[in-house]
Amino acid sequence: MNRLTKAFERLKKKDEKAFVPYIMAGDGGLEKLMERIVFLESCGATAVEIGIPFSDPVADGPTIQAAGLRALNEGVTLKAVLQTILNVRPIVSIPIIVMTYMNPIYAYGIASFIEDASKAGVDGCIIPDLPIEEEDLLLPHFEVADIELIRLVTLTSSNERIKEIASKGKGFLYAVTVTGITGARAKFHAQVENYLKNIKEISSLPVLAGFGISTSEQAQEISQYCDGVVVGSKIVDLFHKNNLDEIEKLIKSIKMMEI
């Protein structure tokens, strides 16, 4: 059974919420990636989402774009990231999710990318610019490799679209909570509560909310209506500032929630 499925089964038994931090691979140098994954596991992260630096990250806001540029300036490549994950996998047990775009996968070679990701111990993959109409390009390879393709729904997705997306896969459903790119938000759209409740009614998969969540209070508020959160820009910013204490506090704020 895939590590992602096992992780969510454990959370369900404990009646706990998920916290998935996003980090940019190679921000501060690729040697930082291993120690950050180990650190996040020690803080209680449910899984780690690892962003691959890319020149045209259409879903990413200023904080993650800047981190990606820093990583690209360090010469970080997708192949080097997968090798680093391979090196860290023997010492961490939490699921590892890779977030990338289609262009780097095409450049790498679809079959080769998924084969190397599987060897490295990657458990899931998020590809924001891959619509479900085109995912058959990759899906058979993912299924053979036992890597979950994590799909996204948005505030503008129709119920029919949500039902179609939610019927696929066994990992989790990623509910985007803003109508735009990643980055911290002071407040959320008035419809977010109903939006998340609606997805929970439709989906048999765990539902995680992401984009814009940057404080413990926001994480706890949003988690009331779904199965947990993904936090990216704030984690990236705190790592850049080497503020590890705040990262730990943010993760543990979810773990201390009363369900």
Q: Is the pLDDT of residue 130 over 70?
A: yes
pLDDT at position 259: 47
Which residues are part of the catalytic machinery? 49, 60
Range from 7-11, 63-67, 175-179 carrying the lowest mean pLDDT: 175-179
pLDDT band at 239 (very low <50, low <70, confident <90, very high): very high
pLDDT band at 59 (very low <50, low <70, confident <90, very high): confident
Q: Are 87 and 135 in contact (CB under 8 A)?
A: no
Q: What percent of the chain has pLDDT over 90?
A: 79
Domains of the chain with bracketed CATH: 3-251 (3.20.20.70)
pLDDT at position 183: 44
pLDDT at position 91: 97
Compare 185 and 64 and report the one with higher pLDDT: 64
Q: Is the pLDDT of residue 182 over 80?
A: no
pTM reported for the whole predicted model? 0.93
Got the DSSP string for the chain? --HHHHHHHHHHHHT--EEEEEEETTTT-THHHHHHHHHHHHHT-S-EEEEPP-S--TT--HHHHHHHHHHHHTT--HHHHHHHHHHHGGG--S-EEEE--HHHHHHH-HHHHHHHHHHHT--EEE-TT--GGGGGGTHHHHHHHT-EEEEEE-TT--HHHHHHHHTS-SS-EEEE-SSS-SS--SS--TTHHHHHHHHHHH-SS-EEEESS--SHHHHHHHHTTSSEEEE-HHHHHHHHTT-HHHHHHHHHHHHT---
Average pLDDT over all residues of the chain: 91
pLDDT at position 61: 80
Q: Are 87 and 62 in contact (CB under 8 A)?
A: no
Range from 77-81, 194-198, 250-254 carrying the lowest mean pLDDT: 250-254
- Residues 219-244 have a mean pLDDT of 94
77-95: pLDDT as tens digits: 999 999 999 999 999 999 9
Q: Is the pLDDT of residue 2 over 90?
A: no
Amino acid at 228: G
Q: Rounded to the nearest 5°, which phi and psi values hold at 50?
A: -110, 115
Q: Is the pLDDT of residue 66 over 80?
A: yes
Task: Please state the length of the chain.
Answer: 259
37-50: pLDDT as tens digits: 999 999 999 999 99
Q: How far apart are CA 202 and CA 252, in angstroms?
A: 29
- Residues 17-24 have a mean pLDDT of 96
pLDDT at position 256: 61
Q: Is the pLDDT of residue 98 over 50?
A: yes
**Cα separations in angstroms, 144 against 34, 118, 148, 194:** 27, 10, 10, 36
pLDDT at position 148: 96
Q: Is the pLDDT of residue 179 over 80?
A: no
